[in-house]
Amino acid sequence: MIGICSYSGYIPRYRLNRGLIFGAMGWMNPATIALARGEKSVANFDEDSITLGVAAGNLALQNVDRDTVNSVYFASTTLPYKERLNAGIMVPALGLKDQVRAADFTGSLKAATSALIAALEGVKEGSTAKTLVTAADCRLGKPGSPQEMLFGDASAAVVVGSENVIAAYKGSFSVTYDFGDHYRGANSKFDDQWEDRWIRDLGMDQFIPEAINGLLEKTGLQIGDFAKVIYPCIYAPARRSIAKKLGMALEKDQDNLQGVVGETGTPHPLVMLAAALEDAKPGDKLMVVSFGSGCDAICFEVTDGITNSVNGSISATLAAKADLDNYNKMLIWREIMPGDFGKRKEVDNWTRHSANWRNRKTVLALEGGKCSKCGTAQYPAMDICVNPDCEAVGTQEPYAFAHLNGHILSFTADNLAASVDPPAMYGQVEFEGGGKFLFDFTDCKMDELKTEMAVTMSFRRKYFDAKRDVSGYFWKAVPVKEDK
Amino acid sequence: MASGIRDKVAILGMGCTKFGERWESSAQNLMVEAFQECIADAGIDKKDIQAAFLGTHFDEVNVSKAATPLSLTLRLPFIPVTRVENFCATATEAFRAATYSVASGAYDIVLALGVEKLKDTGYGGLPDINSVDSFQMGANLTAPGGFAQLATAYSRVWGLPMNKIKDAIAHISAKSHANGALNPKAHLRKVVTEEQIKAAPMIAYPLGLFDCCGVSDGAACAIVTTPEIAKKLKPNQDLIRVKSIQVVGSSGEEAGFNTWDGAHFATARKCSEMVYKEAGIKDPRNEISMSEVHDCFSITEFVTMEDLQLSPKGGAYDDVMGGRFDLNGEAPCQVDGGLKCFGHPIGASGLRMIYAMYEQLLERVPEERQVKNARMGLTHNLGGMPHWNVCAVSVIGRD
């Protein structure tokens, strides 16, 4: 049996109430009042598509032997790099071996389903054993635009394989059209779109039923056989029309999370799939459809294995939220509005790619060492053991810290440090099993910090060098609310 | 077996500029200002100086690299010149090099000069120091944030509530401001109350503005020689001898090995032990008359009192609040105003501290800030961060 072995969804911590957006920008485009309901997810200042993709990927890989994964597909239309494999940056951060096939899928919002089909077909053909498909987007609308209201940031991931399958692959069907509903040129920061009515009536209302009907015909199934039909479409009237056209009961229409997350772009079909799998029963048939320059439609049948799947649920990630109470913060975080970060921020540092290469495991995988002589775990691994009673030379064996828990030994909140989101919070973290390091803290507030507080590690964008268009990545500590 | 340098070298003269925002003065101007005072005090000619050491830290906003800025500025006549750099211990390191040069018998009269011009950065605080590794992996760290963590760690280790720590460090800063207000060479010369200190804007929790030392320009220097030459040149003046200078660097154990509690300086404990041994000091709490310690931040001074054995471990709160380190206390600390009021031009601070001890031991300061019957003065520098640093401690004494 071939199909999905595990899944996850990741919604970044911050949610922006759409009323705040309207309050700030409604004067420019009063019609957006119609969209100013609920909240949307906003990636933290140190998150981008790569870090979101890693977050979802690591959740999906929690109970998977990472050495058995031999390919990684990353789908996004907001890739930090045009040249330099984004999935390649993710491989060490996902704790995967170097000997993997990695590829970026991009160019349309159906890139995630295209990657998923490629993964499923690859396993089916026997060319890959286990593939991680992870998808993320952080799409931007211009201030005052409908897109700014509608879009949210998120990621989702699935592991595809032939063992411990929880949702069996039953086939796919695709249509491709050069349909310019949403588009970004090579140098565009913001989404642009054609008229909603055209997208809704000519695009979604036609292509989605076409793809679904194509898949039904190919698999010999009826729409009534499906427990849920999963597709992204922000237009409520179109959803009703599509359901009617297909003869589908409305309760089979999977919630698109528009009110609590927003339209997340490339990962959206997988985000909705993750939510559907959370509620699925053995035997349920699920259809996943994407929309972007055409449609992919994929059929799954949930297996008995589903009851044991607890990885990164959408309900958990939805619940772990905090209000972003300031619209301007989003503009600063996304580099839409210039902020005054002080002269200290102007100090020019540049990435030494040769040093990055040398330190790739240390930096991207958070790999330290464990002394084969005295057993001391340490980060970073150096030639000479850190234990003063040992100091053996050349005894460090690779030791992964990325997935370990730790606790806080000391902390501060620094208003002097140049930060996009001051105060900069950081402190000494001691890992369970030994080893410690001074880490930045993220996804927290100063008044939540305490010594002895538990932390988990999260892969984040450490810096963005606008002058050279380089994003650099490292790990930060995320405080967990319960004590150690 | 090494015998150490105790009493083998004497200070012949010292100089120290007015510290502050010296907008009109270059590093070169500051060097000359300190040197003129020093050479007049020493009572020798420039040509009598046989070797010189320059201490300076930030290349970026200062005199650049090498020791030639010293020889060119002072127009030293083709003598050996060396630049030394060791973070905040830089000036003490220059003094150590000069002292060792005399103690070794290589030279009779040697100059150590430290200078730093910090106020050409365009912003407050120190410039960032980024290595390739720290850029990739280091936290978004500044000096106040690095040292602020001592407070949260100290609270965890000793169970002292954060509000009591805040009280103690406010007392420390108020004491230093009171001392600095009396000193015409200090940068900050205002008396500040503990209430004002505690109400100041937060820089890095729990350190407020007044918990942080100033950022200043300055230079200080010393001319050292053998006790025999000093006695001959200054028969009517007390001899100020170097009792010990030690410098200790972190092994990385604090940052990476789990036994360090984050609430003390491993280097300072070791360094002061070495100093007391070299100087023959058995009971530092009672033998050290006064001290100038590295109060880059008030919390640094607080924990340092314990590391230098000037307070028992866990006992700094009682000593600080009991006034032991106040100007009229049993063991005054920061008698000139400290880094708190002088600011911290990195390359100059260690020599400025030794200058403060020197002028006290010679009883040259006005009555209102003179420490009575001072015999032994200690200086302490701490460069880097609590979890990795270099520490320098020196003791000088009056015969």
Give the distance from residue B77's alpha carbon to the nearest chain A alpha carbon, in angstroms: 38
Is the CB of B106 inside 8 Å of chain A's CB atoms?
Answer: no
Residue B399: per-residue pLDDT: 85
Q: Tell which of B59, B133, B152 to mutate to test the A interface (max A CBs under 10 Å).
A: B152
B57 carries an active-site annotation: no
Would the pLDDT of A56 be above 70? yes
Helix (H, G, I), strand (E, B) or coil at A365: coil
Would the pLDDT of A478 be above 70? yes
At position B251, the amino acid (one-letter code) is S
Contact between B16 and B220 under an 8 Å Cβ cutoff? The reply is yes
Q: Where are the domains of chain B?
A: 10-121+217-233, 142-212+242-398
Is the CB of B387 inside 8 Å of chain A's CB atoms?
Answer: yes
d(CA B225, CA B116): 25
Q: A361, A404, A475, A409: which is closest to B254 by C-alpha?
A: A409
Pick from A187-201, A344-358, A432-446, B254-268: least confident: A344-358
When pLDDT is cut at 50, 70 and 90, the band that residue B121 belongs to is confident
CA neighbours closer than 13 Å in the CB half-sphere of residue B169? 37
Helix (H, G, I), strand (E, B) or coil at B267: helix
When pLDDT is cut at 50, 70 and 90, the band that residue A310 belongs to is low
Is the CB of B161 inside 8 Å of chain A's CB atoms?
Answer: no
d(CA B182, CA B189): 7
- Whats the size of chain B, residue-wise? 399
d(CA A479, CA A482): 9
Is the CB of B2 inside 8 Å of chain A's CB atoms?
Answer: no
Q: In A, which residues are within 8 Å of B252 by CB distance?
A: 382, 386
Q: In B, which residues are within 8 Å of A414 by CB distance?
A: 140-142, 144-145, 148, 203-204
CA neighbours closer than 13 Å in the CB half-sphere of residue A348? 5
Residue A310 CB burial class (10 angstroms; 0-12, 13-18, ≥19): exposed
Is the CB of B134 inside 8 Å of chain A's CB atoms?
Answer: no
Contact between B383 and B297 under an 8 Å Cβ cutoff? The reply is no
Q: Could you check whether A3-333 and A357-366+401-483 share the same CATH topology?
A: no
Dihedral sign (CA A135, A141, A147, A149): positive
Strands A412-414 and A424-431: antiparallel
Residue B379: per-residue pLDDT: 98
Contact between A157 and A8 under an 8 Å Cβ cutoff? The reply is yes
In this predicted model, what pLDDT tens digit does every residue of B293-308 receive, in sequence order?
A: 999 999 999 999 999 9
Q: What is the mean pLDDT of residues B130-157?
A: 90
Residue B210: per-residue pLDDT: 98
d(CA A87, CA A135): 10
Would the pLDDT of A116 be above 50? yes
Q: What is the mean pLDDT of residues A310-325?
A: 89
Q: Is B136's CB within 8 Å of A462's CB?
A: yes
Is the CB of B80 inside 8 Å of chain A's CB atoms?
Answer: no
Tell me phi and psi for residue B34, to 5 degrees.
Answer: -65, -40
Strands A228-230 and B290-292: unpaired
Q: Is A415's CB within 8 Å of B262's CB?
A: no
Q: A232, A335, A222, A243: which is closest to A276 by C-alpha?
A: A232
Average pLDDT, chain A: 95
Contact between B35 and B15 under an 8 Å Cβ cutoff? The reply is yes
- H/E element holding B151? helix B143-158
**CB-CB: which of B137, B140, B263 is closest to A426?**
B140
Give the distance from residue A399's alpha carbon to the nearest chain B alpha carbon, in angstroms: 14
How distant, in Å, are the alpha carbons of A81, A348, A464, B274 from that of A468? 12, 11, 9, 49
Strands A101-105 and A192-193: unpaired
d(CA B154, CA A5): 48
Q: Where are the domains of chain A?
A: 3-333, 357-366+401-483
By C-alpha distance, the chain B residue nearest A409 is B153
Q: Tell which of B258, B261, B270 to mutate to test the A interface (max A CBs under 10 Å).
A: B258
Give the distance from residue B130's alpha carbon to the nearest chain A alpha carbon, in angstroms: 8
| 184-203 of B, contacting A, C-beta below 8 A | 201-203
Question: Is 3.40.47.10 the CATH classification of the domain at A3-333?
Answer: yes
Q: Is A428's CB within 8 Å of B252's CB?
A: no
Q: What is the mean pLDDT of residues A289-309?
A: 92
What is the DSSP annotation of A5-32? EEEEEE--SEEEEHHHHHHHHTTT-GGG
Residue A483: per-residue pLDDT: 45
Give the distance from residue A44's alpha carbon to the nearest chain B alpha carbon, in angstroms: 16
In this predicted model, what pLDDT tens digit does every residue of A146-198 receive, in sequence order?
A: 999 999 999 999 999 999 999 999 999 999 999 999 999 999 999 999 999 99
Q: Is B256's CB within 8 Å of A378's CB?
A: yes
Would the pLDDT of B181 be above 60? yes
d(CA A138, CA A140): 7
Q: What CATH class has A357-366+401-483?
A: mainly beta
Helix (H, G, I), strand (E, B) or coil at A221: coil
B213 carries an active-site annotation: no
**CB-CB: which of A342, A426, A451 is closest to B145?**
A426
Q: Both tokens of residue B367?
A: 């009555």
Pick from A291-300, A385-394, B126-135: least confident: B126-135
Q: In A, which residues are within 8 Å of B263 by CB distance?
A: 410
Question: What percentage of residues in chain A have a pLDDT greater than 90?
Answer: 94
Q: Both tokens of residue A254?
A: 């999977």
> DSSP state, B46?
G
Q: Could you check whether B10-121+217-233 and B142-212+242-398 share the same CATH topology?
A: yes
Q: What is the mean pLDDT of residues B303-323?
A: 98
Q: In A, which residues are within 8 Å of B149 by CB distance?
A: 410-412, 427-428
Contact between B334 and B301 under an 8 Å Cβ cutoff? The reply is yes
Q: In B, which residues are within 8 Å of A416 by CB distance?
A: 124-125, 142-145, 203-204
Residue B135: per-residue pLDDT: 76
Average pLDDT, chain B: 96
Q: Which of B57, B344, B380, B387 is catalytic?
A: B344
d(CA A144, CA A35): 11
Residue A348: per-residue pLDDT: 83
Helix (H, G, I), strand (E, B) or coil at B259: coil
d(CA A40, CA A234): 13
Give the distance from residue A462's alpha carbon to the nearest chain B alpha carbon, in angstroms: 8
d(CA A427, CA B39): 47
Q: What is the mean pLDDT of residues A19-41?
A: 97
Question: What percentage of residues in chain A have a pLDDT greater than 70?
Answer: 99
What lies within 8 Å, CB to CB, of A221 at 6+ separation is: A170, A215, A285, A299
By C-alpha distance, the chain A residue nearest B162 is A450
d(CA B26, CA A136): 53
By C-alpha distance, the chain A residue nearest B123 is A343
What lies within 8 Å, CB to CB, of A172 at 6+ separation is: A113, A117, A120, A215, A296, A297, A298, A299
Residue B130: per-residue pLDDT: 66
Q: Which of B16, B38, B57, B88 is catalytic?
A: B88
Would the pLDDT of A377 be above 70? yes
Residue A308: per-residue pLDDT: 62
Q: In A, which residues are within 8 Å of B59 by CB distance?
A: none
Question: Is 3.30.390.30 the CATH classification of the domain at B10-121+217-233?
Answer: no
Q: In B, which residues are within 8 Å of A439 by CB distance?
A: 139
Would the pLDDT of A312 be above 80? no
When pLDDT is cut at 50, 70 and 90, the band that residue A309 belongs to is low
When pLDDT is cut at 50, 70 and 90, the band that residue A484 belongs to is very low
- Complex ipTM, two decimals? 0.90
* E strand spans, chain B: 10-16, 51-55, 81-84, 110-116, 202-204, 207-208, 218-225, 240-249, 290-292, 376-385, 388-398
d(CA A329, CA A43): 11
Q: Is B123's CB within 8 Å of A410's CB?
A: no
Q: Which residues pair with A457 in a beta bridge?
A: A477
In this predicted model, what pLDDT tens digit does every residue of A243-280 receive, in sequence order?
A: 999 999 999 999 999 999 999 999 999 999 999 999 99
CATH (one of 2.60.40.1220, 3.30.70.260, 3.40.47.10, 2.170.190.11) for B142-212+242-398: 3.40.47.10
Q: Tell which of A352, A438, A457 to mutate to test the B interface (max B CBs under 10 Å).
A: A438
Q: In A, which residues are within 8 Å of B128 by CB distance?
A: 344, 347
Which value, to the nearest 10 degrees, does the dihedral of the CA atoms of residues B95, B99, B104, B106 take? 80
Q: In A, which residues are within 8 Å of B135 by CB distance?
A: 349, 351, 463, 472
Would the pLDDT of B59 be above 80? no
Site of tokens 């911290």:
B344
Q: Is A359's CB within 8 Å of B136's CB?
A: yes
Q: Is A438's CB within 8 Å of B255's CB?
A: yes
d(CA A407, CA B181): 43
CA neighbours closer than 13 Å in the CB half-sphere of residue B163? 1
In this predicted model, what pLDDT tens digit does every residue of B216-253 receive, in sequence order?
A: 999 999 999 999 999 999 999 999 999 999 999 999 99
In this predicted model, what pLDDT tens digit does every residue of A120-135 receive, in sequence order?
A: 999 999 988 999 999 9
Q: What is the mean pLDDT of residues A439-466?
A: 96
Which stretches within A182-246 are classed as H helix?
196-198, 205-219, 236-246
Residue B124: per-residue pLDDT: 82
